[in-house]
Structure 1
Amino acid sequence: MSEPSSFPPPPLDQQERMVEAMLFASAQPLALSDLAERLPHGADAAEAVARLRRRYAGRGVELTRVGDGFAFRTAPDLGFLMQTETLDTRRLSRAATETLAIIAYHQPVTRAEIEEIRGVSTSRGTLDQLIELEWVRIGRRRMTPGRPVTFIVTDAFLDHFGLETARDLPGLAELRAAGLLDGRPQTDLGAPLARTDEDDDMGDSARPGDLFGEEEDEI
């Protein structure tokens, strides 16, 4: 066990500057534990972050929570300034879009549960695509027979859609009001009538942004 430092922690305004520098230089969101490890002994990472969030509130760049971490991001109302009219050519099939939505709203969820909700078997390729996009990752195994793995969304997914946590996802009423829920017949489970992933892949594709109504990609 290391002995406590005999030097007092730097003033809060200096701690704030240190945290600002680390967050500015990092390509990925940093958790409070990451910041605390690099700050001098006795520094308060949580207070420094809180002060920074207040300082940047309402500015063109804001300090945003992304999952368990924090990162500087363009203010939501100014995002149009960084957009390009060139649409991303990568497309998600309807099967992948539905699977992503189910994982986001029901996580942690197993493959069998995804199939039960969708009313159709889910191909391994669909899940592999979402994992390759780094929007979905494997979670803990269920303590049930067979110990199946679960799937959860990543911080990269939250960051892409401007969400702090999965709890910030729009509700069903909001999705219907935005026209993002189609009118296909539903089963008692709320899932579409049985079909196959191959049927979905032959239909219209959906871009990743279509899930929550985005139409353009940021630079």
Structure 2
Amino acid sequence: MTEPDPDNDNNSGPVLAELLASDAARTVEALIFASAGPVSTNYLIERLPQGTDIDAILRALRTLYVARGVNLVSIDGHWAFRTATDLSFALRRDEHEVKKLSRAALEVLAIIAYHQPVTRAEIEDIRGVQTSKGTLDVLLEAGWVKFRGRRRTPGRPVTFGTTRDFLDHFGLEEIRDLPGVDELKAAGMLSGRIPANLSMPVPRDEEFDADEDPITQLDLEELGLLTPGGKEEE
């Protein structure tokens, strides 16, 4: 699907007003608003009359909300309403917000984001120090990192990748929108322990490497990461 462009000239005037007043547009707006998390385009299409121009509706809604207190944003091909970034200062922090990550956790998160799929051994090789299980656990519990696959190498180590929640939290539409090395250093996400000549590759999407298999529930159970039946260990 072509990414809706809020600046598209076709989204102005009477045409825009008529489209926004349609039952289809109102339905899309309600579905996105009522959802607990970002919704996929297919989710919306399945709930609309056949032949509905979903691209035009999403363009119109993005235009409608572009200057408001909430914006319609795309997150990894999914849609959600989010507070306008310039108003974040006015919102009180939730007491249950994910606690501030340690420097080690930030480093590991940055490495996973840019080098995914990446194994724990590869993370340690990049950082030059061992990575504790607790550091990875914090990122997994925050919902920003996930078990992604297994390498087709001896021992079949688990690979890690980022999640849609990671993109949502940092205001990214897709993983390729991640900032460069200089921006990460300025934000404190890279410290002196990271080699000065670190080369950040272009982040990749969800496609699996030729030497990687998707992780399954059976894999997780065998590794002790899930209990039989699919429930995570406490």
Task: Tell whether the structures are fold-level matches, with TM greater than 0.5.
Answer: yes
Match among 129, 140, 150 for residue 131 of structure 1: 140
Residue 29 (structure 1) aligned to one of 21, 38, 46: 38
- SS of alignment partner, residue 122 of structure 1: coil
Whether the 8 Å CA contact 2:112–2:161 is kept in 1: the answer is yes
1:208 is aligned to none
Distance across 2 between alignment mates of 1:48 and 1:134: 31
How far off its partner does 1:118 sit? 0.9
Q: Secondary structure of 1:92's match?
A: coil
Q: Is the aligned partner of 1:63 residue 2:53?
A: no
Distance 1:96 1:181, change over 3 A: closer
- Per the alignment, residue 161 of structure 1 pairs with 170
Residue ranges of structure 2 left out of the alignment (5+ in a row): 1-17, 200-234
Q: 1:45 aligns with which of 54, 74, 97?
A: 54
TM score, norm. by length of structure 2: 0.67
CA contact (8 A) 1:108 1:151 kept: yes
Task: Say how many residue pairs are matched.
Answer: 180
Write the deviation string for residues 85-111 of structure 1: whole angstroms up to 9, x where unpaired: 979682423222211111112112121
Q: Percent same amino acid at aligned positions?
A: 56
| Deviation at residue 20 of structure 1 after TM alignment | 0.3
Q: Is the 8 A contact 2:103 2:191 kept in 1?
A: no
Counterpart Cα distance in 2 of 1:82 and 1:29: 21
Which consecutive aligned stretches of 4+ in structure 1 deviate over 6 angstroms post-superposition? none
Candidates 145, 148, 152, aligned match of 2:157: 148
Aligned-residue Cα RMSD (Å) equals: 2.7
2:106–2:189 Cα contact (<8 Å) kept: no
What is aligned with 2:130?
A: 121
Secondary structure of 1:100's counterpart equals helix
CA gap of 1:78–1:95, structure 2 versus 1, over 3 A, is same
Residues 79 and 93 (structure 1), Cα distance of their counterparts in 2 relative to 1, 3 Å cut: closer
1:188 Cα deviation (Å)?
A: 6.5
**Contact 2:110 2:190 survives alignment (8 Å):** no
The answer to whether 1:102 aligns with 2:126 is no
Per-residue CA deviation, residues 109-148 of structure 1 (Å, 9 max, x unaligned), is 1212111101122222221221111111111333344433
Distance, in Å, in 1 between the alignment partners of 2:154 and 2:173 is: 34
More contact order relative to length (CA 8 Å, sep ≥ 6): 1
2:70–2:81 contact (8 Å) kept in structure 1:
yes
Letter in 1 for 2:144: W
Alignment gaps of 5+ in structure 1: 1-10, 191-219
Q: TM-score, normalised by structure 1?
A: 0.71
